[in-house]
Amino acid sequence: MDSLSSVIQLPPPHSNAPTDDKESRNYLLFFIPGCPGPVAYYGTFLSNLHVALNSATSSSVEARFEVLGRSLASRNDGTAAVDKLPSSTSAMIGEIELLEAALLDRVDELAAGEKGGVLPKVILVGHGAGGYIALELMKRLQPNSSTAKAKRIELAGTVCLFPSVSMKSVAGTVSQAVVSLSFVSSMLARTTFVVPRC
């Protein structure tokens, strides 16, 4: 079996010369897949999202998006059997820490190459279990956290696509979805117009 790609990286388009009346903003969209974990499954989706975000126009802001997606560590080779994967809390913490390190490494690379000192704002996007990981990363990278200050990382937002996050019912025994499919699709439709203005 061929190995699936564990990283998808789509660079931002080259910037046009900035004009006096148009502000330039850069974003890093960090995508976290759901189970079974290979980001290669999302190649078409991420390519289409990259094109759509970078072709959106605004009269006052030129927004440029880089898309970076990383496979979950437990599935990087694409060959592990689902029943052999660890399901403990420590395994999930390990996934979170590895993805946090990958994100911070990319921010470091961008900081090293940035002449003006302005780093892109980060947008976390997670699908399924990746939604849970995105929420945990958002919690860890709050503006007042030591990591966010040291790395100069700024979160623009988080998008959870069909997150595996649930809540207890009023009776306290039954779990239900926190958001509905119609809510998610309406939020995604709004995001394409809101993000370039962040």
Q: What is the 3-state secondary structure (H, E, C) of the chain?
A: CCCCCCEEEECCCCCCCCCCCCEEEEEEEEEECCCCCCHHHHHHHHHHHHHHHHHCCCCCEEEEEEEEEECCHHHCCCCCCHHHCCCCHHHHHHHHHHHHHHHHHHHHHHHHHCCCCCCCEEEEEEECHHHHHHHHHHHHCCCCCHHHHHHCCCEEEEEEECCCCEEECCCCCCEEECCCHHHHHHHHHHHHHHHHHC
- The domain containing residue 54 runs over which residues? 7-197
**156 lies in some domain:** yes
Instruction: Give the per-residue pLDDT at 137.
Output: 94
The answer to whether position 73 is within a domain reads yes
Bridge-partner residues for 32, per DSSP? 126
pLDDT the model gives residue 148: 79
* The pLDDT of residue 105 is above 90: yes
23-37, 82-96, 125-139: the lowest-pLDDT one? 82-96
Assigned domain for 2 exists:
no
What is the model's pTM?
A: 0.74
**Selection from 71-75, 107-111, 113-117, 124-128 with the highest mean pLDDT:** 124-128
Q: How many domains would you assign to the chain?
A: 1
Of the pLDDT bands very low, low, confident and very high (cuts 50, 70, 90), residue 28 is very high
Asked whether residue 24 is domain-assigned, the answer is yes
Give the per-residue pLDDT at 82: 44
* First CA to last CA distance, the chain: 43
pLDDT band (50, 70, 90) for residue 190: low
| Structure confidence at residue 70 as a pLDDT band (50, 70, 90) | very high
Q: Is the pLDDT of residue 89 over 80?
A: no
Q: What percent of the chain has pLDDT over 70?
A: 66
In a domain, 92, yes or no: yes
Q: Is 142 domain-assigned?
A: yes
Q: What is the CATH number for 157?
A: 3.40.50
